[in-house]
Structure 1
Amino acid sequence: THYVDVWVGKPEPQRQTVIVDTGSSVTAFPCAGCKDCGESYHTDGYFMSDSSDTYEVTDCTKSKKCNIGGMCHSLNQYDHKVCSVRMSYAEGSSWSAVEATDYVYAGGLHDGALVRVEDGNEGGGDAEDHIGDRPNDAYAFEFKLAFGCQYSITGLFKTQLADGIMGMLDSPKAFWKQMYTAGAIDEKRFSLCYSRQPTASREGTEAGAMTLGGTDTRLHKSQMVYAANKSSSGSFVVTIKAIYLRSNGGESALPDSDHQVAQNI
């Protein structure tokens, strides 16, 4: 499972690692007060919402509106109605959360937050002044995200290495779509370039790249091939016409010899 760093809150952002999930739309991670939520398994402690000056629980008392889904109702610890969100996944895991908003940025330095300096510059300038491929640029692409502040989780969400999940469906609720709506990226695009490493570490394992707002052709070994998305519900679905397995392995679909023929299965 591939995950990325997101840094949440101000004045000093807190790291949360989140699984990149193109099959769901909501970003969520455990917050302070989450009961038995796998802190000993995860890369980071719970998000300490009280330490962020910009953290807000969504107040749906008047609007009855929830940005990432869920129901608007009363919970004992809040003096206003909140959006309660619950998500379940095919492998049996689930979580419950309240909807909240805070400033986030993705990437950056794995072992330390990029913070606002006293003269008002944020990590080196505005987003348009950066191409975004340097870790120190990440803070310039911050935006206010609506996410799930989890108070209960079950299944693999407890024992996985990553703290939470990043929903990347084609949905207004998804991380990348919220980033676009907030003006942090100019195009409604993102790309994933995965590699596989033999082990994963709590200290972080580089295993690919996520590009928000486009594609990074420097990572390509061949030209991109396009396919029509067959889904109208926000999922990413393509029609598979054939599958080939290459005899005796290798990295290319083209055979190097008579013993490496691609077999149509």
Structure 2
Amino acid sequence: MALPSISSIGATVSILIYFSLPYSITAGENSLHQSPAARSRRPMVFPLFLSQPNSSSRSISIPHRKLHKSDSKSLPHSSMRLYDDLLINGYYTTRLWIGTPPQMFALIVDSGSTVTYVPCSDCEQCGKHQDPKFQPELSSTYQPVKCNMDCNCDDDKEQRVYEREYAEHSSSKGVLGEDLISFGNESQLTPQRAVFGCETVETGDLYSQRADGIIGLGQGDLSLVDQLVDKGLISNSFGLCYGGMDVGGGLMILGGFDYPSDMIFTDSDPDRSI
């Protein structure tokens, strides 16, 4: 009698992981404290299912992100505060400044997306968000990303375009531009030129949400993290510290940092990025 393969067994095995979410971040400090409400809260149970291995060649050609100890001291990093929370807003945001002079935006932190985008001043279908739309005509350092034979272009064949659709059927599309991006006063990084999306159409939740847009941390040519890594500005990693579902806030770090020897890491899967 033949034994079942490991892959077929793995597809049906579930693992239960308990999250008690008892911690919150103290503003201005790098310490965590336990709230009274959290101590009485019952743990949450999430089933995790093993998926079949992905045979895509893309996972072979693009290396996983992994932080080496030496990287944390040899390169700078960007430390950025997180805002909002999952219970009320359904997401965490951070702040980016684009252009010269800088225009501020509140962007949803998304580790599964690769494009960072904000509403453009000439957007034909954009919702009302918490900050004004990006005005490229007011930035002295803005440049459109020109077309070439290997990319998607606008109707005039002059500027590159992007389009993304998400699981909940919301979508974003627009043109690609390049400008100076600033990461805030707590960042060791100086403002850097990077490619981002300037939205012309939003649908679904992207249209109705309060946040301005998305910062994509996934792996891909348009990823803000990958652009900084390719320029040798940061190490190939990022960190997220969430304040808790009912607490909100937190911290995001782009690049390396001093971490304890017993810290546990997970790889970023390029096949799960969009």
TM-score of the pair, normalised by structure 2: 0.61
* 1:72 and 2:134 matched: no
Distance 1:141 1:230, change over 3 A: closer
* 1:183 and 2:268 matched: no
| Residue pair 1:6, 1:18 contacting (<8 A) in 2 also | yes
Q: Distance in 2 between matches of 1:232 and 1:59?
A: 26
Q: Note the C-alpha offset of 1:85.
A: 1.3
Instruction: Report the 3-state secondary structure (helix = DSSP H, G, I; strand = E; otherwise coil) of the residue aligned with 1:24.
Output: coil
* 1:170 and 2:247 matched: no
Alignment match of 1:3 (pick from 93, 110, 115): 93
Distance 1:32 1:197, change over 3 A: same
Q: Note the C-alpha offset of 1:20.
A: 0.9
CA RMSD of aligned residues (A): 2.5
Point out where structure 1 has 5 or more consecutive residues left out of the alignment.
Answer: 109-134, 200-205, 236-265
Instruction: Report the 3-state secondary structure (helix = DSSP H, G, I; strand = E; otherwise coil) of the residue aligned with 1:233.
Output: helix
Distance 1:28 1:96, change over 3 A: same
Q: Distance in 1 between matches of 2:268 and 2:178?
A: 32
Alignment match of 1:208 (pick from 247, 250, 269): 250
Q: Distance in 2 between matches of 1:155 and 1:223?
A: 42
Q: Note the C-alpha offset of 1:103.
A: 0.8
Q: Map 1:93-242 onto structure 2 (within 5 A).
A: 93-108=170-185, 135=186, 137=187, 140-185=189-234, 187-196=235-244, 198=246, 207-215=249-257, 217=259, 223-227=262-266, 229=267, 231=269, 233=271, 235=273
Instruction: Report the 3-state secondary structure (helix = DSSP H, G, I; strand = E; otherwise coil) of the residue aligned with 1:17.
Output: strand
Distance 1:90 1:141, change over 3 A: same
| Residue pair 2:218, 2:268 contacting (<8 A) in 1 also | no
Show the counterpart of 1:58: 145
Instruction: Report the 3-state secondary structure (helix = DSSP H, G, I; strand = E; otherwise coil) of the residue aligned with 1:166.
Output: strand
> Match of 2:197, as an amino acid?
G
Q: Distance in 1 between matches of 2:93 and 2:258?
A: 18
Point out where structure 2 has 5 or more consecutive residues left out of the alignment.
Answer: 1-90
**Bigger Cα displacement from structure 2, 190-199 vs 172-181:** 190-199
Distance 1:73 1:37, change over 3 A: closer
| Residue pair 2:115, 2:196 contacting (<8 A) in 1 also | yes
Q: Note the C-alpha offset of 1:179.
A: 1.4
Q: Note the C-alpha offset of 1:226.
A: 3.5
| Residue pair 1:93, 1:157 contacting (<8 A) in 2 also | yes
Instruction: Report the 3-state secondary structure (helix = DSSP H, G, I; strand = E; otherwise coil) of the residue aligned with 1:6.
Output: strand
* 1:81 and 2:151 matched: no
Q: Note the C-alpha offset of 1:91.
A: 0.6
| Residue pair 2:98, 2:182 contacting (<8 A) in 1 also | yes
Q: Map 1:12-91 onto structure 2 (within 5 A).
A: 12-39=101-128, 42-60=129-147, 63-66=148-151, 71-75=152-156, 81-91=158-168
Instruction: Report the 3-state secondary structure (helix = DSSP H, G, I; strand = E; otherwise coil) of the residue aligned with 2:169.
Output: coil
Which aligned segments of 4 or more residues in structure 1 are displaced greater than 4 angstroms? Answer: none
Deviations 1:157-179 (A, max 9, x none): 12212100111112232111111
- Paired residues, what number? 184
Q: Note the C-alpha offset of 1:90.
A: 0.3
Distance 1:47 1:230, change over 3 A: closer
Distance 1:144 1:234, change over 3 A: farther
| Residue pair 1:30, 1:150 contacting (<8 A) in 2 also | yes
Instruction: Report the 3-state secondary structure (helix = DSSP H, G, I; strand = E; otherwise coil) of the residue aligned with 2:160.
Output: strand
